[in-house]
Amino acid sequence: MPEISRFMPPAGGRPYPPFAISVRHGATLYVSGIGPMGPDGVPKDDFAAQFAIVIGNLQRALTEGGSNMRSILKANVLLTRAGDVAEMNRLYAEAFPADALPARTTCVVAALPVPEFLLEIECIAAVY
């Protein structure tokens, strides 16, 4: 049976809910919903700024787990405002390699656990 590795929030960082940032099982990495929590908190009502933070946090989670943006197999994008779908698609196309786009589901939800979050992205990626 393949080994299971859990990648936890950094020690001494802000308090996190009880879950791993990602879990690697064999050649697959499962990344939890990544929100726009930056070093200065969450940019209020600025979708582009929040998206940029999410992508940076996602890239770090992938790297820590032994993967990268090109190896994402499936992404789930959660938005709290339907009006952000077009901008999300534009920013998403810039952030993900055009020749390695993952399968994707996008949902508009009533709320996310942190009220200021306008989006979260979770994914499943291959590890090489």
Per-residue pLDDT of the chain (128 residues; tens, 9 = 90+): 779 999 987 766 556 678 899 999 999 999 999 999 998 999 999 999 999 999 999 999 999 999 999 999 999 999 999 999 999 999 999 999 999 999 999 999 999 999 999 999 999 999 98
| The pLDDT of residue 72 | 98
| The pLDDT of residue 128 | 87
Asked if 70 contacts 31 with a C-beta cutoff of 8 angstroms, the reply is no
Record the tokens describing residue 125, joined without a space.
């990626």
Which is nearest to 127 in space by CA: 11, 2, 37? 2
**Distance in angstroms (rounded) separating the CA atoms of residues 62 and 55:** 10
Asked if 71 contacts 128 with a C-beta cutoff of 8 angstroms, the reply is yes
**Distance in angstroms (rounded) separating the CA atoms of residues 41 and 74:** 27
**Distance in angstroms (rounded) separating the CA atoms of residues 120 and 31:** 11
Q: What is the bridge-based pairing of β-strands 22-25 and 4-7?
A: antiparallel
| The pLDDT of residue 18 | 83
